[in-house]
Amino acid sequence: MELADLGLRLAKLRTSKGVSARDMSLNLGKSPNYINKIERGKARPSMETFFDICDYLNISQTDFFDGGNIHPEQFSGFVSDFKGLDDTSQSHVAGIVKELSRRKY
């Protein structure tokens, strides 16, 4: 992932969580403009900070890089709940999801 793409993804995830770049920076123990620098492509987080960012956003590192997943926290919760269903219920939910994905809104 290019540095600019990393910044755009971080901005989308952060704003979907409803937190400002400044607040996120401070909550991570960084300078007030740290997240803003990453989002503008002016800085790259260390691996440790990247893990902290994912923890803060309550998502996995894999979810961070899955640009097609615009609500990773919700998706993760859905998968966890889905795994707890019995076979019949999983089949019903899979059918509903398949039908909804066919519809054009």
| Same domain assignment for residues 7 and 58 | yes
| Same domain assignment for residues 84 and 61 | no
| Same domain assignment for residues 16 and 54 | yes
In this prediction, residue 33 carries a pLDDT of 97
| Same domain assignment for residues 30 and 52 | yes
Q: What are the per-10-residue average pLDDT scores of the chain (105 residues)? A: 87 94 97 96 95 94 87 85 94 93 80
| Same domain assignment for residues 49 and 91 | no
Give the residue numbers spanning the domain of 85: 72-102
| Same domain assignment for residues 49 and 25 | yes
In angstroms, rounded to a whole number, what is the distance separating the alpha carbons of residues 34 and 51?
15
| Same domain assignment for residues 61 and 84 | no
Domain count, the chain: 2
Tokens 């926290």 correspond to what residue? 73
Give the CATH number, domain containing residue 26.
1.10.260.40
3-state secondary structure the chain: CCHHHHHHHHHHHHHHHCCCHHHHHHHCCCCCCHHHHHHCCCCCCCHHHHHHHHHHHCCCHHHHHCCCCCCHHHHHHHHHHHHCCCHHHHHHHHHHHHHHHHCCC
